[in-house]
Amino acid sequence: MELFFEIILGVVSLALILSFIRFIKGPTASDRVVALDTMSVTFISVLVLLGHMFNRFIYIDVSLVYAVLGFIGVLIIARYLEGGI
Amino acid sequence: MTEELMQQILKISFYGASLALILIGLYGVLTKKNLIKILLSMAIAESGLNLLFVAIGYIMNGTAPIFSTAVLDENNQLLETVTMVDPIPQALVLTAIVIGLGVTAVGLALVIRLYKHHNTINIDEIRNLKW
Amino acid sequence: METILEILGVIFISIGAAFLLLGSIGILRMPDVYSRLQAGTKASTLGTLGMLLGIGFFEPAWFLKIFIIMIFVILSNPISSHSIARGSCRSGIKPKLKETVNAYRDAMESCEESIKKDDK
Amino acid sequence: MNIFTVILVVIGAIFMIVAAIYAISRKDLLVATIATSIISLVLSVFFFILQAPDVALTEATIGVALTTIIFVVTIRNTKRHEEEEE
């Protein structure tokens, strides 16, 4: 069962690499914001997975804070692109 | 791959990343002309410094401090000891992150005032001390 | 009972990881911003939900907190995707493929017409 | 510590260095702000792996949300693009 979680961590790391390549390549700023959003959603599942592998209940608070606050940065950049704030 | 090799790779990654961040931030502070870029480089260098402090206090296969519970048998004898990482760098870094946010916020407020007065944020063109 | 929960957890975690990987492949391969947004936010939302549900099956004591995280992901991810799409539409990025319907522009035009009528 | 955690750490270190170089070298300040946000994102996971969840919590709140907000507000009030140097 340990091996299963390690392989899942490898697959998720591959997903992170692909999103980061889009962040480097992306022609406009919107593409980069989309890549940032995908990476921050992927990191939520990485944090919960690592919390299960370290076997500590208190560690998933970090991922809770990510889920609550992580999208505010994306939201504010999108409002800037729109011309608002 | 053995345990020792993995530990070596981990140490090289943490220390290498933190040193690279500090050096890149220092380069940006020294060579860039734009004030916002200078503050951004300061934020990057500060992130590297925080990572260096926490990585120094890390002990291999330790667990987080304060939360740990001791493992006792029925006669209240200690069965096994729990390795903890060093809590002092974590407390220092916790303060340093918040202070860093304050420094960045005050610097950016000054940048906005400078822009409204001089109509530029290039440090070569802002020469006089008069506001 | 435990084996059933573990099998369910393995199935859900595998689905979640597969959707995360497919979403990232889509974000790399799609031609323009709007289709990248489809791949990047919808697939990764489903992937994260599946993964969280699988971990919740593995550790039943954590299920309440994981459920709260799932609710926040469901609430916050479509908001950010909608606002990115609106921002890139208003900053003047055209879709690469030929567009057949643009409901946002039609709504804006009808809104402006109604404002003009009110002014008259 | 297992092999895939080591791979995640190595990938994260490469992400941080590349994003830092990218943030320094771009002329568009909004892109530089997004790159700084990615640096804090990876840094938070590093603090998590280094067994410091409280520091990771603070870094997630401050680095991802607040720093981005104050930089974007400043860019909004000044100029978005850095001038070319003669």
Instruction: Give per-residue pLDDT as tens, B20-45.
Output: 999 999 999 999 888 899 999 999 99
Residues of C in contact with A31 (CB under 8 A): 33, 36
Say what the pLDDT of residue D86 is: 46
Q: Are B84 and B98 in contact (CB under 8 A)?
A: no
| Domain coverage including residue C8 | 2-119
Rounded CA-CA distance C4/C19 in Å is 23
CA geometry: angle at C9 spanning C4 and C13, to 5°? 155
Mean pLDDT of C17-30: 90
Domain count, chain D: 1
Closest partner CB to D48 (pick from A23, A47, A73) = A47
- The 10s digit of each residue's pLDDT in A18-74 is 999 999 987 888 889 889 889 888 988 888 888 888 887 888 888 888 888 888 888
What does the block give as tokens for B23? 């050096």
In 3D space, the residue among D63, D59, D62, D37 whose CA is nearest the CA of residue D50 turns out to be D59
| Domain coverage including residue A14 | 2-82
- CB of A56 within 8 Å of a chain B CB? The answer is yes
Domain count, chain A: 1
Q: What 3-state DSSP class applies to D6?
A: helix
Say what the pLDDT of residue B18 is: 92
User: What is the rounded end-to-end Cα distance, in angstroms, of chain A?
Assistant: 48
Q: Could you tell me where the beta strands, DSSP code E, fall in chain B?
A: 71-72, 78-80
- For chain C, the average pLDDT equals 85
Mean pLDDT of C8-26: 91
- For chain B, the average pLDDT equals 85
Contact between chains at B34 and D33 (C-beta distance less than 8 A): no
Which residues of chain B fall short of a pLDDT of 50? none
Domain count, chain B: 1
CA geometry: angle at A79 spanning C78 and A81, to 5°? 110
Q: What 3-state DSSP class applies to A81?
A: helix
Contact between chains at D75 and B36 (C-beta distance less than 8 A): yes
Rounded CA-CA distance A56/B122 in Å is 50
Residues of A in contact with D49 (CB under 8 A): 50
Closest partner CB to D51 (pick from B14, B50, B62) = B62
Domain count, chain C: 1
Residues of A in contact with C21 (CB under 8 A): 11-12, 14-15, 18
Say what the pLDDT of residue B125 is: 81
For testing contact with chain A, the best of B6, B67, B97 (most A CBs within 10 A): B67
Rounded CA-CA distance B127/B72 in Å is 69
CATH number at residue B15: 1.10.287.3510
- CB of A54 within 8 Å of a chain C CB? The answer is no
pLDDT tens for the 86 residues of chain D, in order: 678 888 889 999 999 999 999 999 988 889 999 999 999 989 999 998 888 888 888 888 888 889 999 999 999 888 887 776 54
A22/chain D closest Cα distance in angstroms: 12
Contact between chains at A52 and C87 (C-beta distance less than 8 A): no
Inside any domain, residue B125:
no
Distant-in-sequence, close-in-space partners of A78: CB < 8 Å, separation ≥ 6: A33, C80, C83, C84, C86, C87
- The 10s digit of each residue's pLDDT in C36-59 is 888 888 888 999 999 999 988 888
Whether chains D and C touch (3+ CB pairs under 8 A) is answered by no
DSSP collapsed to 3 states, A37-66? HHHHHHHHHHHHHHHHHHCCHHHHHHHHHH
B69/chain D closest Cα distance in angstroms: 16
| Domain coverage including residue B85 | 3-118
DSSP collapsed to 3 states, C21-89? HHHHHHHHHCCCHHHHHHHHHHHHHHHHHHHHHHHHHHCHHHHHHHHHHHHHHHHHHHHHHHHHHHHHH
Contact between chains at D24 and B7 (C-beta distance less than 8 A): no
- The 10s digit of each residue's pLDDT in C66-103 is 899 999 989 988 888 888 888 888 887 777 777 677 77
B75/chain A closest Cα distance in angstroms: 26
Inside any domain, residue D85:
no
Inside any domain, residue B97:
yes
Say what the pLDDT of residue C88 is: 85
- CB of A31 within 8 Å of a chain C CB? The answer is yes
Say what the pLDDT of residue B28 is: 92
Rounded CA-CA distance D47/B27 in Å is 25
